[in-house]
Amino acid sequence: MSILIVGANGQLARHTTARLLAETDSRLTLFLRRASRLPNPDPARVTIVEGDATNEAALTVAMKGQDAVYASLAGEMGQQARAIVGAMHRAGLKRLIFISSMGIYGEVPGESYRSILDPYRDSAAVIGASDLDYTILRPGRFTRGPSIDFTITHKGEPFKGHDVSMNSLAYLIAKLCLSPSLHVRSSLGVSN
Ligand SMILES: NC(=O)c1ccc[n+]([C@@H]2O[C@H](COP(=O)([O-])OP(=O)(O)OC[C@H]3O[C@@H](n4cnc5c(N)ncnc54)[C@H](OP(=O)(O)O)[C@@H]3O)[C@@H](O)[C@H]2O)c1
């Protein structure tokens, strides 16, 4: 299994990279801006590619030969999602795991989150309108605890809980990357 990680220098992406290297035999391509910041954690299995997630042409090249794409981004997420979906079409890939946030559908009881989540809403809408085998994750607030313990809620259901450990998310992301049909075309709330 070959996995492209877009936004690979983010804290959750680095956590998930470590898990994928420790728990699977996947080959990883780490795609990030200013690649000199990230030491290669395992040169036998990891390729590092410098690029911007809004650059569809660069993403298309990086997607060659991959089985799954895991995107863990921030900022101009609508534009990034459009570039990723376009590149996946051009590269002939189907499987996308995309990190969003709790609250994008007003699903967290007592919270509105308003415009701060607009980039997350835009990107989820772009991906949801695509024909990809996507799984959008809407995590709660990240914690650093060692536990792997989480609850999933589906789109249309109220979000349960508030926090989730990065260990839990890395476990779930790794499972999704390795399982082409698990939770396909779904947007999942994740918290413990
Ligand atoms: N922390 C929480 O409690 C929490 C809860 C729910 C959801 N989330 C969301 O989950 C996502 C991942 O979280 P995180 O803590 O891992 O975030 P993070 O550390 O800020 O990582 C986001 C990464 O996105 C990269 N990025 C942004 N624009 C890019 C572009 N145009 N091209 C390439 N890379 C780009 C950044 O790269 P640079 O290093 O080059 O800037 C950064 O490494 C974020 O969207 C976050 O808001 C977080």
pLDDT digits (tens, 9 = 90+) for 132-181: 999 999 999 999 999 999 999 999 999 999 999 999 999 999 999 999 99
- 3-class secondary structure, 92: coil
Mean pLDDT, all residues of the chain: 97
Point out the ligand 1 atom lying closest to the alpha carbon of residue 101: 7
- 113 confidence band (pLDDT: 50, 70, 90): confident
Residue nearest to atom 3 of ligand 1 (CA): 141
The pTM of the full predicted model, rounded to 2 decimals, is 0.98
Residue 112 has pLDDT above 90, yes or no: no
- 67 confidence band (pLDDT: 50, 70, 90): very high
Domains and CATH numbers, the chain: 2-191 (3.40.50.720)
Point out the ligand 1 atom lying closest to the alpha carbon of residue 14: 16
- 121 confidence band (pLDDT: 50, 70, 90): very high
Residue 191 has pLDDT above 90, yes or no: yes
Residue 5: the pLDDT is: 99
Residue 114 has pLDDT above 90, yes or no: no
Binding-site residues, ligand 1, Cβ < 6 A: 7, 9-13, 32-34, 52-54, 72-75, 80, 99, 101-102, 139, 141-142
Mean pLDDT of 60-69: 98
- 12 confidence band (pLDDT: 50, 70, 90): very high
Q: From the CA of 100, how far away is ligand 1's center (Å)?
A: 10
Residue 147: the pLDDT is: 93
Whole-angstrom distance, CA of residue 67 vs CA of residue 96: 9
Whole-angstrom distance, CA of residue 56 vs CA of residue 39: 25
Cβ neighbours for 84, distance < 8 A, ≥ 6 positions apart? 6, 53, 59, 69, 71, 96, 98, 127
Whole-angstrom distance, CA of residue 147 vs CA of residue 143: 10
Point out the ligand 1 atom lying closest to the alpha carbon of residue 34: 40
